[in-house]
Structure 1
Amino acid sequence: MRLKDRVKPYLEYCEYRKELNKKTLKAYRIDLRQFFDFIADGEPDKERIEKYITELHKTYKQKTVKRKIASIKAYYNYLEEEEIIEDNPFRKIKVKFKEVITLPRIIPREEIEQLLNYMYGCLGKDSGRMERYQLRDVAVVEVFFATGARVYEISNIREDSVNLHSGLVRIMGKGGRERYIQIGNSSILAILKKYYEENETAIKKSGFFFVNSRGDRYTEQSIRLMLKKYTKLAGIDRNITPHMFRHSFATYLIEEGVDVSCVQQILGHSSIRTTQIYIHIAAKKQAEILKEMHPRNSMNVAGVA
């Protein structure tokens, strides 16, 4: 059996044994198909792999190249561990990347406040089904900023994962890893309770905490569209995405002095290096504060002539 014909059982191994999510599996499938299309019927030896990596660098940005190479290396490691191959060509290939720090986009605090105020202002103006949907949407946005969870994590929160009395929420993250996040704000808990009371029948039937108009899971795409709609209605020009709440959550916690390792645990990052990107943003904000608001600016000192 050719190596490319073993991709299907490998992806099944990733799905059922490693419990990788659908998004990761899709990326693996695309990356491996692209690799074997380039190799064609030739032998995937060191020389051909080196040529492929060069072509990747010509076509894609560094972050994408890094991911695609990682996908192929993971596959070859699997083949080696299963004793399907004896010689792993990736052990002879050294790939180095220049670390480029891209600061995540965050939402200014005043815009989060503006959005929430608009959404809360919509409550009580309608009745019945429309009121239930509005309660749900406010609850979703509040949970975004309260937990820093990813959109697919929030979409997949189960009914039994939310304790409305203690405020403890169980989040299922990447690779099936679970973490618990405490919601301590009484206003957020109040909107969650009200939403639950109005939608309890549909929630219990579906098993998901956030449900759509058909009583099914409130999907990631529907959440994105909802956020886009309310952002526009609130008069905010910025294109706010669900993931920007995650970035904002982490950045503002660090600005408030929360230890980065604590933020790492809350976000569910496997490596603290991933979380440390938010330190750069907090430091940038600190520099702006010191430049604009330091008391030395208002002192009447002669200085150097």
Structure 2
Amino acid sequence: MNNLQQAIDSFLQHCRYEKNLSEKTIYFYNLDLIQFKSFVFNNSYPDVIQEINKHHLKHYLREISGWKIKTVKRKIASLKAMFNYLEFEDIISVNPIRRIRISLKEAICLPKALNKEEVKAILNEAYNSISYVPKSKYAYLEKIRNATVVELLFSTGARVSEIANLKLADLDRKSGSLMLRGKGNKERVIQICNAGALALIEIYICLFEDKIIASGGYLLINRFENKLSDQSIRNMVNAISVKAKISKKVTPHTFRHSFATLLLENDVDIKYIQAMLGHSSIVTTQIYTQVNQEKQKQILTDKHPRMDFSLAVA
């Protein structure tokens, strides 16, 4: 193995067949590494993997420095992962990316969450829309499915890709427990506890069971008996939110933020929220402690010991 393309191909095969990484992760690895390969070609740098050095990498980092920090971090992570693999396999003797010090600080963007009234308005719209359509029409089935999607998003706090990839076998219909597969194919189980949500899911399954089987077992499907795409779910959530007259932009991830924020406001331990969201680090979850300033004001008004002292200037 000498050239860069061979190194990329070998690394991606390792990711797919040995590490069993998700197709989404492999897609972005491939995207980032092919972009790096184009940079190497356009600058007439050596295509021999053993000859790529830290100066080539530093030039590449300067080239992409104007991109969003999150994107730059991902591209660096892709390069690190490949060069670490090549070093481990003794394909290269010197890992060029180890010799580069990188410091990127990303501005903290606080997630936008819905309050309880906004969540209720969206759920009301999803449920009420069912009654507007005759049961004999396919649109009735779609309305049932759409409401089921909203219930799943808010009940579980799952990522849109986790919801889209659900299979019927992932749901224990007796207990209400749901198996989610997150980043890196990490599995976690979350319980759906609301009786109304469970009843709707059961109605949906009964109506769609034949189509679910025809789709290969995917839980959420379209009229062509294929699984719903991430984008279809985004469009669906946006349409329902607009009809519910929610002024802010609502995405599936908004429900994830709302799930975490509202649980935190109800004094749920952040470690439990971390586990339910599938965060590998508590640091990721801690951003939700900064979200709701009104809750902070309420806590300090009700709980701060200074409120026990009736002192004032005469």
Do they fold alike, i.e. is TM over 0.5? yes
For residues 2-81 of structure 1, the aligned pairs below 5 Å read 2-40=3-41, 41-42=44-45, 43-57=51-65, 59-81=66-88
2:131 partner SS? coil
CA contact (8 A) 2:115 2:262 kept: no
In the other structure, the counterpart of 2:111 is 104
In the other structure, the counterpart of 1:276 is 286
Q: Tell whether 2:253 aligns with 1:243.
A: yes
CA deviations on 1:79-125 (whole Å, 9 max, x unpaired) are 00111000111221111223532211212221111111111112233
CA distance in structure 2 between the aligned counterparts of 1:36 and 1:208, rounded to whole angstroms? 37
In the other structure, the counterpart of 1:150 is 159
CA distance in structure 1 between the aligned counterparts of 2:23 and 2:294, rounded to whole angstroms? 36
Unaligned runs of 5+ in 1: none
In the other structure, the counterpart of 1:190 is 199
1:180 partner SS? strand
Give me the identity figure in percent: 39
2:172 corresponds to which of 163, 182, 193: 163
CA contact (8 A) 2:211 2:225 kept: yes
Q: Does 200-209 or 162-171 show the bigger shift? A: 200-209
In the other structure, the counterpart of 1:256 is 266
CA deviation after TM superposition for structure 1 residue 138, in Å = 0.6
CA contact (8 A) 2:25 2:184 kept: no
CA deviations on 1:131-162 (whole Å, 9 max, x unpaired) are 21111111110110000111111111111111
CA deviations on 1:229-273 (whole Å, 9 max, x unpaired) are 111222223210001111111111112111122111111112222
CA contact (8 A) 2:69 2:106 kept: no
Cα root mean square deviation, aligned: 2.4
CA distance in structure 1 between the aligned counterparts of 2:104 and 2:199, rounded to whole angstroms? 48
For residues 103-142 of structure 1, the aligned pairs below 5 Å read 103-126=110-133, 127-128=135-136, 129-142=138-151
CA deviation after TM superposition for structure 1 residue 303, in Å = 3.6
CA distance in structure 2 between the aligned counterparts of 1:295 and 1:263, rounded to whole angstroms? 25
CA distance in structure 1 between the aligned counterparts of 2:300 and 2:188, rounded to whole angstroms? 39
Judged with a 3 Å threshold, the aligned counterparts in structure 2 of structure 1 residues 216 and 30 are, in CA distance, closer, same or farther, namely: closer
CA distance in structure 2 between the aligned counterparts of 1:294 and 1:121, rounded to whole angstroms? 40
TM-score by length of 1: 0.90
CA distance in structure 2 between the aligned counterparts of 1:238 and 1:292, rounded to whole angstroms? 28
Q: Does 107-116 or 15-24 show the bigger shift? A: 15-24
Judged with a 3 Å threshold, the aligned counterparts in structure 2 of structure 1 residues 151 and 287 are, in CA distance, closer, same or farther, namely: same
Query: Which residue identity is paired with 1:26?
Result: Y
CA deviation after TM superposition for structure 1 residue 292, in Å = 8.0
CA contact (8 A) 2:70 2:106 kept: no
CA deviation after TM superposition for structure 1 residue 193, in Å = 1.1
Judged with a 3 Å threshold, the aligned counterparts in structure 2 of structure 1 residues 153 and 69 are, in CA distance, closer, same or farther, namely: same
CA deviations on 1:185-239 (whole Å, 9 max, x unpaired) are 1111111111112222212332111121122212212111111211122222321
Query: Which residue identity is paired with 2:125?
Result: Y
CA deviation after TM superposition for structure 1 residue 175, in Å = 1.8
CA distance in structure 2 between the aligned counterparts of 1:49 and 1:214, rounded to whole angstroms? 46
CA distance in structure 1 between the aligned counterparts of 2:185 and 2:75, rounded to whole angstroms? 22
Query: Which residue identity is paired with 2:70?
Result: K
CA distance in structure 2 between the aligned counterparts of 1:216 and 1:227, rounded to whole angstroms? 19
CA deviation after TM superposition for structure 1 residue 55, in Å = 2.5
CA distance in structure 1 between the aligned counterparts of 2:212 and 2:70, rounded to whole angstroms? 39
Q: How many pairs are equivalent?
A: 302
